[in-house]
Amino acid sequence: MKKKGLKEFKTFPQSTINEIQRAAKEGIYQIRGLGAKRKVPDFDDLVFLGASMSRYPLEGYREKCKTSVVLGDRFAKKPLKLDIPITIAGMSFGALGANAKDALGRGASSMGTSTTTGDGGMTKEERGSSKYLVYQLLPSRYGMNPDDLRKADAIEVVVGQGAKPGGGGMLLGQKINKRVAGMRTLPEGIDQRSACRHPDWTGPDDLEIKIQELREITNWEKPIYIKVGAARSYYDTALAVKAGADVVVLDGMQGGTAATQDVFIEHVGIPTLGALRQAVDALKELNMYRKVQLIVSGGIRTGADVAKALAMGADAVSIGSAAMMALNCNADLYRKDYEKLGTEPGYCHHCHTGRCPVGVATQDPKLEKRLDPKEGGRQLKNYLTTLTLELQTLARANGKSDVRNLEPEDLVALTVEAAAMARVPLAGTNWIPGFKEKD
């Protein structure tokens, strides 16, 4: 406990001193899971105005408020028709155990929404339990095969992810068991570091051709998503549209990962809030808004976050870390196992170790048993239901009969930073920093 009167170094708080001394001892960067722990401007810095004299609300419990969304109708013959605009983000089998993937599929399916594979191919359990399954095409191409491509409901070409734009996947040896190794055509127990660039295309011109190939193989049926980590979001979105995407997935820096360098998680990429505005700008300037759908992810936790993302122009959101938490990630259970990892509930980011105390991010059969796929699926369903109810509550309060009718004019910002990033006025003013109305 801190003694009264002691003054901590602002530049060198205890956590920084600990990290310097860990680095001095071990000589290697810190690898960890989940997303950024630093505070960044986020959806909490925005509030809705609600209805007032100039607009009327809808009855909170009675009047309909539509939540369905169609994704991928630009070119695909069979776009996805989801009941709610909240999807489950890509997380690999390998990073997560088979039970966790199964639970995600069950929860998502029961709510009429999609889940997504990851850097390890498609498992039978996941395909079986997922009504709508998005199949990722990643630089590693682990487990990629045309049969699974045809079994998928949509294809997501992963260019980057919010936790590490410019970095490839990482799965440490302790999680590469026989099944994971087999699916990835790798030796068991190695530290698997995936490629960060695709092996057979480099820029957007090439990607356009790659997408053509994917469409030829799948009879032009499947929606093609392009996922980018939030960085140069205006240009990345414009180039994704140019490359022929049906859907752009934009993952902000708060987005999670199973394992990467802490320095990557905390210092590369931009917050979801700023990235979203830039992506919407690009779509509008290209006259592609609502024609190419935008899914945003990275730090979505509540129905309020979902509503604010939609108001800013997203067509849907995607959740990864929060979905894991619905399956008990960081729950106050099995405390001794958290202690063995040198952490405690609420602070755990040890997905990379494979020693997940609650059986979500592990390949250890004993730990995996701690997650029952049916129970996990039910928990995810409850969580998605709650998000949807919160989303509808806010939409009705703003007078919207469809959640996608939420608009930037419904929002104001509580901080100057958030006002500038989201380009909505600072609360109680007409001031949007850095923005001038065109003549």
Partner 1 sequence: MNFDLSKKKLTDINKYLQNIDRKSNVRKFKIENPSGHHAICAGLKDDIDVTINGHTGYYCAGMNQKASVTVNGNVGTGVAENMMSGKVFVKGNASQSAGATGHGGNLVIEGDASSRCGISMKGINIIVKGSVGHMSAFMAQKGNLIIFGDADEDLGDSIYEAKIFVKGKVKSLGADCVEKKMDEKSINELKKIFKELNISENPKNFKRYGSARKLYNFKIDNAGAY
Q: Is 141 in the site for partner 1 (CB under 8 A)?
A: yes
Sign of dihedral through CA atoms 123, 388, 61, 66? negative
- Cβ proximity to partner 1: between 158 and 403 the closer is 158
Q: Which of 220, 234, 289, 334 binds partner 1 (CB under 8 A)?
A: 220
- Cβ proximity to partner 1: between 203 and 434 the closer is 203
Question: What's the distance, CA 14 to chain centroid?
Answer: 31
Q: Is 185 in the site for partner 1 (CB under 8 A)?
A: yes
- Cβ proximity to partner 1: between 112 and 189 the closer is 189
| Three-state SS at 367 | helix
Take residue 332 and report the two structure tokens written for it: 């106050």
- Cβ proximity to partner 1: between 207 and 245 the closer is 207
Please state the closest distance from residue 247 (CB atom) to partner 1, in A.
21
Take residue 318 and report the two structure tokens written for it: 């995607």
Question: What's the distance, CA 80 to chain centroid?
Answer: 18
Please state the closest distance from residue 199 (CB atom) to partner 1, in A.
4
Q: Is 19 in the site for partner 1 (CB under 8 A)?
A: no
Q: Is 200 in the site for partner 1 (CB under 8 A)?
A: yes
Q: Which of 127, 210, 290, 378 binds partner 1 (CB under 8 A)?
A: 210
State the number of binding residues for partner 1 (CB under 8 A). 31
Q: Is 379 in the site for partner 1 (CB under 8 A)?
A: no
Please state the closest distance from residue 175 (CB atom) to partner 1, in A.
13
How far is residue 310's CA from residue 304's CA, in Å, rounded to a whole number? 10
How far is residue 139's CA from residue 258's CA, in Å, rounded to a whole number? 16
Cα→Cα distances 30→24, 266, 271, 395, Å: 12, 12, 22, 42
Q: Which of 17, 190, 263, 333 binds partner 1 (CB under 8 A)?
A: 190
Please state the closest distance from residue 219 (CB atom) to partner 1, in A.
6
For partner 1, the binding residues in 158-177 under the rule CB under 8 A are 173
Please state the closest distance from residue 331 (CB atom) to partner 1, in A.
30
Q: Is 183 in the site for partner 1 (CB under 8 A)?
A: no
Neighbours of 417 (CB within 10 A): 16
- Cβ proximity to partner 1: between 186 and 426 the closer is 186
Please state the closest distance from residue 92 (CB atom) to partner 1, in A.
16
DSSP secondary structure code for residue 43 in this structure: G
For partner 1, the binding residues in 118-137 under the rule CB under 8 A are none
- Who's near 152: CB < 8 A, 6+ residues apart? 117, 122, 133, 134, 135, 218, 222
Task: Judge contact between 249 and 225, C-beta under 8 A.
Answer: yes
Q: Is 212 in the site for partner 1 (CB under 8 A)?
A: yes
Q: Is 263 in the site for partner 1 (CB under 8 A)?
A: no
Q: Is 213 in the site for partner 1 (CB under 8 A)?
A: yes
Sequence-separated contacts (24+) of 260-263 with Cβ below 8 Å: 260/31, 260/32, 260/163, 260/164, 260/167, 260/170, 261/29, 261/30, 261/31, 261/164, 261/167, 262/29, 262/30, 262/31, 262/32, 263/29, 263/30
Q: Is 109 in the site for partner 1 (CB under 8 A)?
A: no
Q: Is 217 in the site for partner 1 (CB under 8 A)?
A: yes
How far is residue 181's CA from residue 299's CA, in Å, rounded to a whole number? 31
- Cβ proximity to partner 1: between 121 and 162 the closer is 121
How far is residue 62's CA from residue 396's CA, in Å, rounded to a whole number? 10
Q: Is 146 in the site for partner 1 (CB under 8 A)?
A: yes
Q: Which of 18, 145, 401, 429 binds partner 1 (CB under 8 A)?
A: 145
Question: What's the distance, CA 187 to chain centroid?
Answer: 29
How far is residue 144's CA from residue 81's CA, in Å, rounded to a whole number? 25
Among the listed ranges 64-72, 190-198, 355-363, 417-425, the one in contact with partner 1 (CB under 8 A) is 190-198
Task: Judge contact between 355 and 172, C-beta under 8 A.
Answer: no
For partner 1, the binding residues in 22-51 under the rule CB under 8 A are 26-28
Q: Which of 219, 386, 401, 429 binds partner 1 (CB under 8 A)?
A: 219
- Who's near 428: CB < 8 A, 6+ residues apart? 412
**Any idea which residue has 């029952």 for tokens?**
372
Q: Is 21 in the site for partner 1 (CB under 8 A)?
A: no
How far is residue 142's CA from residue 122's CA, in Å, rounded to a whole number? 10
- Cβ proximity to partner 1: between 224 and 432 the closer is 224
Q: Is 140 in the site for partner 1 (CB under 8 A)?
A: yes
For partner 1, the binding residues in 311-350 under the rule CB under 8 A are none
Q: Is 426 in the site for partner 1 (CB under 8 A)?
A: no
Q: Which residues bind partner 1 (CB under 8 A)?
A: 26-28, 140-141, 144-146, 149, 173, 185-187, 189-191, 193, 195, 199-201, 206, 209-210, 212-213, 216-220
